[in-house]
Structure 1
Amino acid sequence: MFVGKLRSSNASVRSGFSYCMRAFSARPCVSEKPLPPRIVVPEKDMIESFLKGTGPGGQKINKTSSAVQLKHLPTGIVVKNQETRSREQNRRNARRLLGEKLEEMEKGSQARTAIKGEKIRKKKASAAKKSRRKYRQLDEEAASSVSETSSHEGHDIASTGKPSNGDNTRQNEHRQSAANADASLGRDSSNG
C-alpha cells in the first residue's frame, strides 16, 4: 500500500525495498573503540557561582554575570568558564570541564581526554612521517636528476678536456654583459 502511494506521487520505486547508492571502498570499515562515558558530577558536590565576564565583547560582557565558576568540594578543584555569552551554555561547559578534570585525576591515561589526545598525537605523527617521506623522495629524485646531468657533462669534459657548453655559455654571457656595461661607461674592460 505504501509503495503504491509512492508510485502515484511520481517517485521512482522499483519494488517494496528502497535502494540506496553507496560508495564502496577497498578497505573494510573498522569501527573505533568507543570512548569511555563522561563522568557526571553530582550537584551536591559542587558550588556554583556566576562572575562578571572579562575580555573581548565590550560593555555587555563586562556588565553581565555570564561567566561560571564551579568548585568541587571533595577535591577543591576550581573551574571557570566563559566561552560564550550565554550563561546556560557556560554552565554546561563548566560541568563538562570539571568532569574531564576529575576523570583525568581518577583514571590517568585511561581517561577520555587522554585517549582523544593520544589519537590526535598519532594522527599528527603520521602526517609528519608522510610529509618527511614525500620530501625525502623529492630530494632523491632531484639529486638523481642532477647526477644524471652532471654525468653527461662529465662525459664532455673527459672527451674534450673542456667543460660542457652549458657552463661555458653562461660564463661567456656574463663576460659579454660585463664588457658591454664597461663599454657604455667608457672603461677599458681588458684592464680588469
Structure 2
Amino acid sequence: MLRLRPWNRVRIPSSSIPIRPFTQSLPLPAKPLPPRITIHDADITVAYLKGTGPGGQKINKTNSAVQIIHKPTGIVVKCQATRSRSQNEKVARQLLADRIEQQERGDQSRVAMKAEAAHKKKASKAKKARRKYRKLEDGEEGAAQQQLDEAEELEESGEPEKPAEKSSSTS
C-alpha cells in the first residue's frame, strides 16, 4: 500500500497549469496601492505600558502594550492587540504610518483607497440584491396578473370555474 507523503508526490510545474483555462482574456490587474510611508526612529518616542481591560492579573503586571508618539505631528498610537511586546510594536508602527499617511495624503492614502474599494463592493452587492428581489417581485406580480387574466377569460367564455380546494383539517 502506497501512502501519499509530501516527498513522494509528483509535482506539476505551475507554468504548465493554465491560470484561467476557460477564458480568452487575462485577468485585470488590481489597482496598485501607494507605498507605505517610512517612519524614522528619530521622529518617534516608543513607550511600553502596562495593559488595561480584560485579561486578569497577567495583563495588569506586564508591560506589553506599546505607545508610540510621532514628534513632528503629535500623533499618539497605543496598541495592546497581542500578548507580545514586539508584535504590538509592529502593529502600532503600521497604525502610525497609516494615520500619518492619511493626514498627509487624504483621499489618496492607502486607508482611504481601501475604504473606497470596500464601499464600492458593498454598494454593488446591495444593488445586485435589490435587482434580484425586484425581478422576483415582478415575477410574482406577473404570475398574479396572469391568473387574473385566465379567470377573466373563463368568465367570458361561460365555463364554470374550478372550485378551490379546501384543506381538510381535523380539530
TM-score range, shorter chain: 0.7 to 0.9
Structure with more of its chain in helix, by fraction:
1
Q: Give me the whole-angstrom Cα distance separating, in 2, the residues matched to 1:145 and 1:63.
A: 69
Shift of 1:32: 1.7
Shift of 1:21: 2.3
Shift of 1:158: 4.1
User: Residue 89 of structure 1 is aligned with which of 84, 87, 90?
Assistant: 87
Alignment of 1:107-186 (within 5 A): 107-160=105-158, 165-166=163-164
Q: Percent same amino acid among aligned pairs?
A: 43
Q: Give me the whole-angstrom Cα distance separating, in 1, the residues matched to 2:132 and 2:9.
A: 53
Q: Contact (CA 8 Å) 1:52, 1:63: kept in 2 or not? A: yes
| Greater relative contact order, per chain length (Cα 8 Å cut-off, separation 6+) | 2
**Structure 1 residues 41 and 10, CA gap change in structure 2 (3 angstroms):** closer
User: Residue 104 of structure 1 is aligned with which of 99, 102, 105?
Assistant: 102
TM-score by length of 2: 0.81
Shift of 1:28: 2.4
The equivalent residue for 2:17 is: 21
Q: Give me the whole-angstrom Cα distance separating, in 2, the residues matched to 1:50 and 1:18.
A: 46
Stretches of structure 1 lacking an aligned partner (at least 5 in a row): 1-8, 182-192
**Structure 1 residues 18 and 84, CA gap change in structure 2 (3 angstroms):** closer
Shift of 1:44: 1.0
Q: Contact (CA 8 Å) 1:53, 1:67: kept in 2 or not? A: yes
Q: Give me the whole-angstrom Cα distance separating, in 2, the residues matched to 1:95 and 1:11.
A: 43
RMSD over aligned Cα atoms: 3.0
Computing the radius of gyration over CA atoms, which structure comes out larger, 1 or 2? Answer: 1
Q: Give me the whole-angstrom Cα distance separating, in 2, the residues matched to 1:163 and 1:49.
A: 85
User: Is residue 65 of structure 1 aligned with residue 63 of structure 2?
Assistant: yes
The equivalent residue for 1:80 is: 78
Q: Contact (CA 8 Å) 1:157, 1:164: kept in 2 or not? A: no
Stretches of structure 2 lacking an aligned partner (at least 5 in a row): 1-7
